[in-house]
Amino acid sequence: MNWLPLGDEDPFDRWTLPYGVFVVGGSAPRVGVAVGSWVLDLAPLAGDELFAQPSLNPFLAAGRPVWDAVRARLLSLVTDPRHRELVEPHLIPAADVELRLPFEVADYVDFYASQTHAENVGRLFRPDNPALPAAWRHLPIGYHGRAGTVVVSGTPIVRPSGLRRAGDSVEFGPSLRLDIEAEAGFVVGTPSALGAPVPVGAFEDHVFGMVLVNDWSARDIQAFEYVPLGPFLGKSFATSVSPWVVPLAALSHARVEPPPRSPAVADYLRDEEPWALDVSFEVEWNGTVVSRPPQRSLYWMPAQMLAHLTVNGASVRTGDLYASGTISGPRPGGSGCFLELTWNGAEPVQLTDGARRTFLEDGDTVTLRATAPGPAGSRQRLGEVTGTVAPSPSP
Ligand code: CA
């Protein structure tokens, strides 16, 4: 029945069908869809200017009826043998393309939706206070990040410099506690109007899909600067995203009930539709898998995050990215950052290459991958985001 041959090791199946932007052989960047180990060149296949674009934004702005129609057509094209002759000329080996940042990032918001992460950070950074901030169970805490430093997977991460505490004094220099944060990112397609909150139930009309996010963090810079206004230079130097945006429609088999919440949430955060996602992350450090953060353990759902960030009347734009915050599961082995994994450097990690690590060293590579339940009991891959640390420029 399926005409397109796929192997177990292929990066994507015939169901996920994520969208990205690629160049091949010096071509102009344009929109493609990943299937198996191929990139489907949509612009000539569909004969549609919507895909002859250097970003997904025009397609994202087209709205859910268009997203649904294109996906339905794609599912038919890659499975029904009658379409083989039409599709085959537009399949490009994935190894031959260069992937670009898939969408123009409008605004970037980062949340703090993992209870385990929030409690661990509280214990490490504020040991004399309750682990969870007072508002944490009432609303998804977040902050506005820096859209202009969101980069595509593979972009080198230059070690940031900044001020940090050194004993009783303060010194300037390259971060000594460079860390990762494994997060789920959500990409807004349909904008909302200023003054018009987006209810929880309108999530699927506004959000197009999901990317994997590594929100690089300099813990020493962060710890010194963050009181009282939150993260600034400790986070803003780089945030990496996976090159393939997985449509929400491809995550339908991964949806599960959210965890119970106490106290009951405010009416504008009540979620009738289950939007917890049973996505399993994997954190690989220089070739060693060091943890497996479970996205389903998050306390706050992406639909609630969108409702919260607009409840005051703030609008969202096409290309807005909002991320879950570090995903850390309650069980050992589920840490989404090295701050927790090594307990702020107190418990080094042994890598299979013989090295021991607490935080990132120059030349280290971290790759995040994720999988989720797919159709008919299958396991679908959701792509990867990788980055290698480059040394700080010499002063
Ligand atoms: Ca973060």
CATH number of the CATH domain containing 360: 3.90.850.10
| Domain membership of residue 61 as a residue range | 19-100
CA distance 223 to 235: 11
The overall longest dimension of the chain from CA atoms, in Å, is 73
pLDDT of 134:
94
Residue 290 forms part of a structural domain? yes
CA of 78 to the centre of ligand 1 (A): 36
Q: Which of 100, 122, 154 delimits the end of a domain?
A: 100
pLDDT of 45:
95
170 and 271 within one domain: yes
End-to-end CA distance of the chain: 61
Flag whether the pTM goes above 0.95: yes
CA of 378 to the centre of ligand 1 (A): 30
Is the Cβ–Cβ distance between 240 and 323 less than 8 Å? no
Question: What residues of the chain score a pLDDT lower than 70?
Answer: 1
CA of 294 to the centre of ligand 1 (A): 16
Q: Please, which residues have CB less than 5 A from ligand 1, an ion? A: 110, 181, 215
CA distance 282 to 329: 12
Q: Which of 100, 123, 142 delimits the end of a domain?
A: 100
**Residues catalogued as catalytic:** 117
pLDDT of 394:
79
CA of 343 to the centre of ligand 1 (A): 17
Residue 5 forms part of a structural domain? no
Residue 373 forms part of a structural domain? yes
118 and 198 within one domain: yes
pLDDT of 2:
78
Is the Cβ–Cβ distance between 185 and 211 less than 8 Å? yes
pLDDT of 91:
97
